[in-house]
Amino acid sequence: MIGPGDGKFGISDESERFCYVFVQSHLDIGGATDEDRKRYIKGTVIHELGHQFGLNDHPEDQDPPKTRNGKACVMWSAAPSALVDLEFCDECLARIRKYRW
């Protein structure tokens, strides 16, 4: 595992410019519908790409920053959840816009 998180659903290394999404882990989530699983995979891809732009996870022990949809920012949790949006909050969007390659 590279960096924080358990690496069950995805990992990212900004310095080496790679990220992986472990699709099988998403498919193995019990009680999820196929649509849920597809959404979780999309969320993990977006989350890991956020790490490529230098974003860190928002602390899970704090209330998550909200997106324009009123859901939790995609960077709030590394684990798939219906509570997490497929979008970034304003804070994350601002950091992405300022990112310098």
- Residue 52: CA atoms inside 13 Å, Cβ hemisphere, count? 13
Residue 25 identity (one-letter amino acid) = S
Per-residue model confidence as pLDDT tens digits over 14-73:
777 878 888 888 878 888 899 998 998 999 999 999 999 999 999 989 999 999 999 999
Query: Taking the model in full, what pTM does it have?
Result: 0.81
User: Residue 2: which pLDDT band, with cuts at 50, 70 and 90?
Assistant: very low
